[in-house]
């Protein structure tokens, strides 16, 4: 191996080693920017706020697994498991409110956060989730 090849191999190896660090830094920067400029209640909705108008205009996304979705969900909801929201971001409209929910709101909150960091400001998480909707929704079809 010539000195030229050795230097090239070293440069490539060092470059490949630092790329994940740059990607991680970019992700952290995006999350920090979102968190610093987000209003306290941005990205959430309560079941008590789900009146007929909201229900008829918003898309509901059930972020639970397929088995839970099949067992019962909000009428008209689509199923996109919480871990898949970024892979299936094209299925989430940008032009209307999209309400993500799971059983209690914890997994859907992670999905909503990821989507909001990805630029989807129309995405909100329903606090207290499907359980809260069953108990406290202002409107149930």
In a domain, 32, yes or no: yes
In a domain, 2, yes or no: yes
Question: Does pLDDT of 46 surpass 80?
Answer: yes
The residue ranking higher by pLDDT, 12 or 111, is 111
Based on the structure, what is the number of domains in the chain?
2
CA distance 114 to 74: 22
Same domain assignment for residues 65 and 29: no
User: Across the chain, which distance is largest between two alpha carbons, in Å?
Assistant: 74
Q: What's the average model confidence in pLDDT over 58-71?
A: 98
Q: Which of 46, 40, 34 is nearest to 121 (CA)?
A: 34
Q: Which of 57, 120, 127, 121 is nearest to 88 (CA)?
A: 120
Q: What is the CATH number of the domain that holds 68?
A: 3.40.250.10
Contacts of 114 (CB under 8 A, 6+ apart): 85, 86
Same domain assignment for residues 89 and 23: no
Split at pLDDT 50, 70, 90, the class of 38 is very low
pLDDT of residue 86: 97
What mean pLDDT, rounded, does the chain reach? 82
Print the domain residue range for 70: 44-136
Question: Residue 53 to residues 31, 118, 132, 141: CA-CA distances in angstroms?
Answer: 32, 27, 19, 12
pLDDT of residue 43: 79
Same domain assignment for residues 83 and 123: yes
Q: What is the pLDDT of residues 96-109, one digit of tens each?
A: 999 999 999 999 99
The residue ranking higher by pLDDT, 3 or 35, is 3
Q: What's the average model confidence in pLDDT over 110-135?
A: 93
Q: How many Å is the Cα radius of gyration of the chain?
A: 20
């Amino acid at each position: 191996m010539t000195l030229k090849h050795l230097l090239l191999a070293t440069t490539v190896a060092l470059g490949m080693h630092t790329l994940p660090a740059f990607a991680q830094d970019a992700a952290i920067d995006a999350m920090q920017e979102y968190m610093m400029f987000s209003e306290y209640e941005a990205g959430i909705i309560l079941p008590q706020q789900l009146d007929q108008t909201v229900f008829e205009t918003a898309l509901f996304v059930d972020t639970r697994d397929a088995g839970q979705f099949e067992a019962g969900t909000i009428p008209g909801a689509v199923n996109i498991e919480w871990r898949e929201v970024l892979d299936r971001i094209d299925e989430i409209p940008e032009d209307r409110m999209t309400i993500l929910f799971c059983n209690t709101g914890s997994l859907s909150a992670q999905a909503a956060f990821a989507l909001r960091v990805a630029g989807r400001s129309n995405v909100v998480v329903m606090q207290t989730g499907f359980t809260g909707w069953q108990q406290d929704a202002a409107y149930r079809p």
